[in-house]
């Protein structure tokens, strides 16, 4: 009797950890993987305003890729993503190197560079929306100051509006990239740098040959985070331009939302969400795979 009680307790003790983990696993299984499966199914269905389960094969994808708005959204994502990642990395690296020169008040300056990261993209969008508005913002101010030929109306200009999204997004996240690189710089072996300095390497050569190559992991994680943010970016576009003027700043995230919830084309909306997921997975899965394998 005592033995079976103790073995039952041992069994419970073995089971308990898994029991504690199971609600989270169940939630993730349903609400992440189950929902991905559900949306995938919808992308092959004839859903319009509400989910419907008639199978239509690839026709949603065919329609999706024949839509001009989707074409614009993909183009915008490419332009935005490339510029956003590149500028953030260059600016972040430069700021990190500048801050790594034994600067007085480094902590204070770092705080200023990084605070936009704490803001909502909606707040950032509102601030830049009015700052870049030619009627009251930068252009009006320059005119008021006497530079009457000054013109900066990108936010109202179909061809240039997407670049204002880049400007605001870079402002928000470049400080984060700076912090990532700064942490990387602090991890570099000081002895090695001193040795190279003794050998007469110039500061520039020092950074180009020794420091920057060692920042590879920092580059990689900055890239993954930025790429991921670029593909998901929704709030900033909504607040800054709301996809306009016209459809000039439409991105996949805004496209998905409007096709699913306001245009009653749920099948096409689901297909666009699917493309977003696949794009992110193409970046994230190899990254997670390598990270987790190394840790074994």
Partner 1 sequence: MSIPLSFGRISLYLLLGLFCIYYLLPLYVMVANSLKPLDEITSGGMMALPSDWTLAPWRSAWSEAQVGVEATGLRPYFTNSLVMVVPAVMITTLMGALNGYVLTKWRFRGDTLIFGLILFGCFIPFQIVLIPMARTLGLLGLSGTVPGLVFVHVIYGISFSTLYFRNYYAAFPTELVRAAEIDGAGFFTIFRRILLPNSGPIAVVCVIWLFTNIWNDFLFGASFSDFDSQPMTVALNNLVQSSTGVKEYNVHFAGAIMAALPTLFVYVVAGRFFVRGLMTGSVKG
Sites for partner 1 among residues 172-201 (CB under 8 A): 175-176, 179-180, 183
Q: Sketch the per residue contact string, 6 through 35, with partner 1: x for CB under 8 A, - otherwise.
A: -------x--xxx-xx-xxx-xx--xxxxx
For partner 1, the binding residue among 52, 75, 242, 264 (CB under 8 A) is 242
Q: Which span (68-76, 154-162, 204-212, 233-241) binds partner 1, by CB under 8 A?
A: 233-241
Contact 52, 45 (CB under 8 A): yes
Question: Would you count residue 286 as binding partner 1 (CB under 8 A)?
Answer: no
3-class DSSP state for residue 55? strand
102 binds partner 1 (CB under 8 A): yes
3-state secondary structure at position 45: strand
Alpha carbon distance 226, 169 (integer Å): 10
> What's the closest the beta carbon of residue 97 comes to partner 1, in angstroms?
10
Residues 249-278 that bind partner 1 (CB under 8 A): 252-253, 256-257, 260-261, 266, 269-270, 272-274, 276-277
The structure tokens listed for 144 are 């008021």
- Tokens at residue 9, please? 């307790």
CA gap 92, 212 in Å, rounded: 13
For residues 257 and 112, the answer to whether their CB atoms sit within 8 Å is no
Contacting residue, 79, 140, 210, 248, with partner 1 by CB under 8 A: 140
Closest CA to 283 of 234, 224, 231: 224
Is position 239 an interface residue for partner 1 (rule: CB under 8 A)?
yes
- In the bound complex, what is the minimum distance in angstroms from residue 177's beta carbon to partner 1? 10
Residue 111 binding partner 1, by CB under 8 A:
yes
Residue spans of alpha helices (H) in 44-137: 59-66, 68-99, 106-114, 121-131
């Amino acid at each position: 009797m005592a033995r079976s009680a103790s073995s039952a307790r041992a069994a419970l003790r073995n089971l308990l950890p898994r029991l504690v983990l199971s609600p989270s696993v169940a939630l993730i299984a349903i609400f992440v993987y189950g929902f991905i499966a559900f949306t995938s199914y919808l992308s092959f269905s004839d859903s319009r305003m509400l989910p419907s389960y008639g199978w239509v094969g690839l026709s949603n994808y065919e329609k999706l890729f024949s839509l001009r708005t989707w074409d614009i959204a993909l183009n915008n994502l490419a332009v935005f993503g490339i510029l956003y990642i590149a500028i953030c990395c260059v600016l972040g690296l430069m700021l990190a190197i500048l801050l790594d020169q034994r600067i007085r008040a480094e902590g204070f300056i770092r705080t200023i560079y990084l605070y936009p990261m704490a803001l909502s993209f909606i707040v950032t969008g509102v601030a830049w929306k009015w700052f870049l508005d030619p009627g009251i913002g930068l252009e009006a101010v320059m005119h008021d100051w006497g530079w009457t030929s000054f013109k900066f109306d990108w936010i109202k200009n179909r061809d240039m509006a997407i670049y204002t999204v880049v400007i605001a997004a870079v402002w928000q996240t470049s400080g984060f990239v700076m912090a990532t690189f700064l942490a990387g710089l602090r991890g570099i072996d000081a002895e090695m740098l001193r040795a190279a300095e003794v050998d007469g390497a110039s500061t520039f050569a020092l950074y180009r040959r020794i420091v920057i190559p060692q920042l590879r992991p920092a580059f990689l994680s900055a890239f993954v985070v930025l790429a991921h943010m670029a593909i998901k970016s929704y709030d900033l576009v909504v607040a800054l331009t709301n996809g306009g003027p016209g459809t000039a700043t439409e991105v996949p995230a805004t496209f998905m939302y409007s096709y699913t919830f306001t245009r009653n084309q749920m099948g096409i909306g689901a297909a666009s969400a699917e493309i977003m997921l696949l794009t992110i997975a193409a970046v994230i899965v190899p990254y997670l795979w390598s990270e987790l394998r190394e840790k074994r």
